[in-house]
Amino acid sequence: MRLLLIRHGQTIDNVNGAIGAIVPGPGLTPLGREQAAAIPAALQSERIAAIYVSTMQRTHETAAPLAGALGLEPRVVDGVQEITSGDLEQRSDKEAIASYMGAVFSWWQSLDGRVPGGEDGHEFYRRFTGAIDEIAAEHPESTVAVFSHGAAIRAWSSYAAENVDAEFSRTHPLENTAVVVLEGSPAEGWVVTHWAGEPIGGAQFEDASAPDPTAEALG
């Protein structure tokens, strides 16, 4: 199976540098819609058999142009939504961001780490892996696009893939509409074959002025 994990387009939370993980959350900004519109051309060489979106509005809007171009109906899958924000929702201060991303990357040492008021590593990986397993069971030999979220994609990819670790994920950005490609299966394991950190349509769709905490490389 070929799995395309695509981050959603820009939202107002990204512009404000705020942590936002409450469902359904905001839709896309004008730039976010431009980013989404660039996806079909960028993925025209892929033979995508199905499109999945999270329970959050921004993934639905990001997937819409690709779905329209391919004549596919996006399917909502519970489990690939963003890592819960708990007590840190809508905060943009350095302490909150360090607490949120610090908890996420602590999961490589222990899944017991918990986002304050949110989920721990056990809970996150159980629900995200469960969703991917369901998708893989339906499309074991196909290419599938899954529209998800910055912290979730970075965390799950580094956890599931045999060739990517937490350090790689921590130091490689994942801007809006960036894509991580994995190949394999739940039974045989996953390998990251491509990590494109900039917007899928190219750097011209990147907003370098936006302090997006779940996208940026951490030093």
**82 catalytic residue (yes or no):** yes
Tell me which of 60, 61, 82, 172 is the catalytic residue: 82
For residue 30, which amino acid is it? P
For residue 152 the two structure tokens come to 């979730």
By CB atoms closer than 10 A (0-12, 13-18, 19+), residue 47 is: exposed
Tell me which of 8, 60, 149, 172 is the catalytic residue: 8
By CB atoms closer than 10 A (0-12, 13-18, 19+), residue 201 is: buried
CA 218 from chain centre, in angstroms, equals 17
Strand locations in the chain (E): 2-7, 48-53, 75-76, 143-148, 179-185, 189-196
Q: What is d(CA 108, CA 111) in angstroms, rounded to the nearest whole number?
A: 7
Q: Which residues fall within 8 angstroms of residue 30, CB to CB, at 6 or more apart?
A: none
**8 catalytic residue (yes or no):** yes
Strand locations in 66-130 (E): 75-76
For residue 128 the two structure tokens come to 């995200």
Active site residues: 8, 82
